[in-house]
Amino acid sequence: MTDRGIRRGARPRGAIAIPVGALVLALIASAVLWTRGSLNPLICDGDCGPAYVTAPGALTDASRPKGATPHAAPSGTVDGAKVEAAVAGALGDDALGGHVGLAVVSPTGEVLATRGSGTYVPASTAKVLTAFASLATVGPQEQFHTRVMLAGDQLVLVGGGDPYLLVKKPKVPDRAVRADLTTLATRTATALKRDGVTAVSLGYDASLFTGPSASAGWPSMYVTANIVTPVSALWADQGEAHGIRSRDPALSAGKIFGRLLEERGIQVTGGPAAARVPDGAKEVASMASATVAQIVEALVRTSDNQAAEVMLRHVAIAAGKPATFEGGAEAVTEALTKASIDTTGLRLRDGSGLSRDDRVSPTTLAQTMLAALASLRTSSLLGDLPVSGFSGTLLERFSGSKGAYGQVRAKTGTLTGVHSLAGYATEASGLPVYFALMSDGTPEIPLAAAEAALDRVAAAIAACSCSS
């Protein structure tokens, strides 16, 4: 049978080669963009988190020199004089301002280098302290439960302090998210119908946390200007809808839950009202949060102010103190002291570092990093820190110090005139060096200039051949 109208041999030789070549180039470019994280905004609407991180080539098994032992640790000690010399130039950058503090600590706890004295406004590096205390005091495997309780025809939605409770499941799976009101409403409606209940009144209980919902150390405009949501043991999507933060996140969650119940055939009489769980109430449905370790990883990586304040209350509860800003601050300080961390001059007004009344010394932050390794309960904290040039709040940092890509893990801190960085760097021979760099008097200059100055100090530590 002859081919009618189609001559297979008539196609030019390059007709196939050109599209294939373009496809290969596109695949290569996509692989490079994926590794760099440039596709994150399309894939995950921002930083994708640890589940999507591709290890730098230098860290893969294929790149390990022949004969290397997988568990071999670098040997030697870190020379403090070499560290001092390495950071001296970078510390003189005018972008850091006139009030600069630095503490560098060796793996053995020796103080290798210091600059300045006293305490500084920590900004979000204060979250390191909240995270450490959460792991140490509450425990990495603990979870928080959002419950639905029933007494007669009264249904009560009870907040358990899940900082990442959502209205509905996220499109992209997130390790920090386990519970959502939509699923909880489905479970509740199913259980109610099974028992023949089709109409209820609805209350909501956010009494797990007490005291003011906004810190006295925050300007009042933090709430009115939509910067933070009042802290609550019950909220969904952290009290935010369409970019607006609720002034009463527990009431908002109650209204959403009531609507979801009605959509599932349960009549809700009246509007939701604040309530306490009646005596003799039985549990109808519940959902557990992610573990504390997973919550801490998310709040450290993304510098989540809301989650940090919720965790501050859980630290207080676990320590037997009132679930308030003050109780949380006391409990965090006790956790640090118990770990033999120097808390001289420490003053906390919140768990997030939003307050300019907070005061922390660089030594406290640097020692917290090292102390985290001393216990299985807290050791995950070091792995939660953003990686220079690769993840979290360091994703777009170190562009002027690319030699330090992947060599620094640190928590950032930024307020107007305040810039800090706390974590550890791997110096040239492979030894970890723990540091905290703080500046709370930076001049009125572009934000990027101060951040780049911080990055250069950390990069200098990473580049230093400081072992002896």
**Which residues are marked as active site?**
124, 127, 303
The residue behind tokens 């109409």 is 199
* CB-neighbour burial class of residue 302 (10 A; exposed 0-12, middle 13-18, buried 19+): middle
- In whole angstroms, what is the distance from residue 420 CA to residue 96 CA? 10
Kindly give the pairing relationship between strand 154-158 and strand 111-115.
unpaired
Return the structure tokens found at 133.
């205390």
**Tokens describing residue 33:** 């963009």
Which single residue is written with the structure tokens 């490079």? 32
Q: Counting beta carbons within 10 angstroms of the beta carbon of residue 270, is it exposed (0 to 12), middle (13 to 18) or buried (19 or more)? A: exposed
Q: Give the position of tokens 């040239």.
A: 428
Cβ 143 vs Cβ 291: under 8 Å: yes
In sequence order, which residues have a C-beta less than 8 Å from that of residue 160 and are 6 or more positions away? 144, 145, 146, 147, 208, 233, 289
The H or E element containing residue 256 is helix 249-263
d(CA 189, CA 126): 42
User: CB within 8 A of 320, min separation 6: which ones?
Assistant: none
Question: CA angle, 213 as apex, 334 and 306 as ends, to 5°?
Answer: 75
The phi and psi torsions of 326 (rounded to 5 degrees) equal: -70, -45
Contacts of residue 190, Cβ cutoff 8 Å, sequence gap at least 6: none
